[in-house]
Structure 1
Amino acid sequence: MAAETGYSVQQIRDLERLGVIASAVRAGNGYRQFSAAVVGEVRAYRDLAHAVGPVEARRTMRAIRMVPPGEAVALVCSLHTQIDRGREQALVARRALEAIQGEAETEAAPVETDAMTITELSRALGVRASTLRFWEKQGLVKPERIDRQTGSARIYPVEAIREARITAALRAAGYRIPDVQRTVAAIRDLDDVSRSLEALDTRLNSITDRTLSLLRAAATLAQIIESG
């Protein structure tokens, strides 16, 4: 089994002990004897581990042997949903970056700076200060507050400037506030990866590879579920 699958002997024993693969038949001398079907299960585990991670793969392959078929199918479907959610998040973030990538470098365009006041940012984007305050209330932009003698003033750091640019570009393109909220949330969740279109393309390619691995594993998972 180890030679056939590329796993070590100890790894095969661990997968059997954890219930990830079917138990081996013991020969008269105590040696384990695995069927060809179990070789397929080990390969399915490898694909599943690549798709969703080894911890989730072990949990899933153990669980589908223990729960009713309907629950087992729902569990496998949830893995597809999980990966697809990541794909959609990356696509939303990519569309947002594309929306600001083509901005012309003019005096009206925001420059790369450590921070801007609300007046500076409103002038740079060509929107009213009241619009920026509305975007803040909607959770689209998160300025920092600093105390001054006259009260609390808004300061927009680099991240807030970028979010304001994305919001302005999407609103100008006709996106509704809920759509912009979803886009900004995706950007924030992706953190530094969202800064680069190339990085997002790499992420999307990785998601494609993981999806293909999940599809390869699916046939074996179906056989395990059907076998009861």
Structure 2
Amino acid sequence: MGELVSGSSGSQRVPLRTVDVARESGYSVQQVRDLERLGVIPPAGRSSNGYRSYTPLHVHALRAYRGLAGAVGPVAARQLLAELRTETLAEAAAAINAAHVRLAGEREETLRAQQALRVIRAEADTTGFEQERDAMTITELAAALGVRPSTLRFWEQEGLVSPERVTSLRARRYGGSAIGAARIVVALRGTGYGIPAVREIMASLNRLDGLDEAQHILRQRLDQIAGRTVALLRAGADLAAVVTSAQEPTLT
């Protein structure tokens, strides 16, 4: 790869052609144009002969997008990059940190789902896992899982999670096994499994092969989260260049 201008500001502007940016960023020429059209990078300048003229900061933005897209998805990555170019340094740093926090939260929730599976495998949900102190209301459980109460109601309708019902108002209350089931459902849905597939897996948890399948899925999810975390880490230096450039004049 060619040498990019060093320094966080990108103030030393070296005109780059589309082919140069493609070579430095790892994208094709057409992809560079498409990503410019989508707003991943600011519009290129124009040289005296009318050709696109880029700067090293465009390359940083494209590299940052590659890592972000791998970590949070292409749509969220485009939105975040657009925000980073207009926010203060503190706001931009907080937004990037939030992406790390979300990944850490997904990992923690998957580990909790694994623990729930271990409890089921040990047939321990009736010997302490169901104690009253572990029970949650629908609002508490939704907050703990990072989903809406309506999502839990929908899962109940679909036969994925079965709460207990108490009080004269028949308010939902989730015991230990229901909480564990909900954590497993969250992890499976986060892995991309549709409702029918999740229903089948949850129904199979009373069988050893069903437990093994669910455990395999959760291990795969942990591997995916690890890969996404590494992608975000790899984007670090390029993200820093994009963030610091927002404090200075625009690229064009």
Q: Which residue of 2 aligns with 1:149?
A: none
Change (3 A) 1:60 1:135: same
Query: Residue 55 of structure 2 corresponds to which residue in structure 1?
Result: 35
1:80 has 2:100 as partner = yes
Alignment partner of 1:204 out of 199, 222, 226: 222
Identity %: 38
Q: Which has the higher helix share?
A: 1
Deviation at 1:89, TM superposition (A): 0.7
Greater RCO, 1 or 2 (C-alpha within 8 Å, sep 6+): 2
Q: How far is the alpha carbon of 1:135 from its aligned partner?
A: 9.4
Q: How big is the shift at 1:4?
A: 4.2
> Which ranges of structure 1 fall in alignment gaps of 5 or more residues?
104-108, 110-124, 141-156, 165-176
Is the alpha carbon distance of 1:79 and 1:13 closer, same or farther for their aligned partners in structure 2, counting shifts above 3 Å? same
Shift of 1:36: 3.4
**TM-score by structure 1 length?**
0.63
AA aligned opposite 2:186: D
1:45 CA displacement: 0.7
Counterpart residue identity of residue 58, structure 2? V
Q: Residue 45 of structure 2 aligns to which amino acid in structure 1?
A: V
**Of residues 118, 123, 126 in structure 2, which corresponds to 1:98?**
118
Whether 2:241 is the aligned partner of 1:219: answer no
| 1:48–1:57 Cα contact (<8 Å) kept | yes
Tell whether 2:187 aligns with 1:190.
yes
Alignment-mate amino acid for residue 229 of structure 2: T
Q: Aligned letter for 1:219?
A: A
CA distance in 2 between partners of 1:82 and 1:132 (Å): 29
Answer with 1 or 2: which has the greater Rg: 1
Alpha carbons 1:2, 1:9 under 8 Å: kept: yes
Contact 2:84 2:242 in 1 (8 A): yes
Deviation larger for 16-25 or 79-88: 16-25
| CA RMSD across the alignment | 3.8
Q: What displacement does 1:101 show?
A: 1.9
Q: CA deviation at 1:216?
A: 1.0
CA distance in 2, matches of 1:179, 1:77: 32
The 5 Å alignment of 1:38-117 reads 38-103=58-123
- Give the structure-2-normalised TM-score: 0.57
Look up the equivalent residue of 1:186 and give its one-letter code. R
Distance 1:136 1:40, change over 3 A: closer
Amino acid at match of 2:51: Y
Could you say which residue in structure 2 is the equivalent of 1:174?
none
Q: Deviations over 1:134-177 (max 9, x none)?
A: 6997469xxxxxxxxxxxxxxxx98569x99xxxxxxxxxxxx9
Structure-1 separation of matches of 2:182 and 2:33: 43
Per-residue displacement from partner, 1:100-120 (whole Å, max 9, x unpaired)? 2244xxxxx9xxxxxxxxxxx
Shift of 1:79: 0.9
Shift of 1:96: 1.1
Question: How big is the shift at 1:67?
Answer: 1.5
For residue 115 of structure 1, what is the aligned residue in structure 2? none
Question: Secondary structure in 2 aligned to 1:187?
Answer: helix
